[in-house]
Amino acid sequence: MRDYGLTALRLCVGAVFVAHGAQKLFGAWGGGGLPGTSAYLASLGLNPAYPLAVTLGVTEFAGGLMLILGALTLWASLALAVGMGVAIWKVHYQNGFFLNWSVTPNQGHGVEYNLVLLGALVALMLAGPGALSIDEWRSSNAEAQARNRARIRQV
């Protein structure tokens, strides 16, 4: 059942990143789209803001889709973990640990949520995608092919 636990983690984390990437790229679910994301990144001192907004949005959206499919899980998780690291460093660290549940004005969220996502991404990098993934299917095919080649050599 361990592989299915990883699958559940991969699907949930992938869905979170697809949703956040869609907000950044397309303005879905109240997101700012590329203009809003670009303006926000510029306010953080991250320049050139527009190309960074495109890179961040595509990384989150495509990386989330790749996690959902279980395709190139290591690389998708690594790219998303870098994004989470930058978000912690530039946005959330100065707000402490906890989320701003009371929605206190002029106070952002702490690192709590981003740290959980970062931990989930590291777990997927270390443990793999789990069951029902393209990576597992490719791996099992490669192992079967290697076994077949070994049998042929023995003959």
Q: What string of pLDDT tens digits covers the 155 residues of the chain?
A: 888 999 999 999 999 999 999 999 999 999 999 999 999 999 999 999 999 999 999 999 999 999 999 999 999 999 999 999 999 999 898 888 999 888 888 888 889 999 999 999 999 999 999 999 999 888 877 776 777 677 677 76
Per-residue confidence (pLDDT) for residue 106, from 0 to 100: 84
- CA 18 from centre of chain: 8
129 burial level (CB within 10 Å; 0-12, 13-18, 19+): buried
Question: Which tokens in the block code for residue 23?
Answer: 């907000």
Question: Which tokens in the block code for residue 37?
Answer: 């994301």
Q: Using DSSP, state whether 154 is helix, strand or coil.
A: helix
pTM of the model: 0.87
Instruction: Look up the domain containing 82 and give its range.
Output: 2-154
Per-residue confidence (pLDDT) for residue 145, from 0 to 100: 72
Cα separation, 130 vs 9, in Å, equals 9
Contact by Cβ (8 Å): 17, 61: yes
Residues 6+ apart with CB under 8 A from 11: 67, 68
Structural domains counted in the chain = 1
Per-residue confidence (pLDDT) for residue 51, from 0 to 100: 96
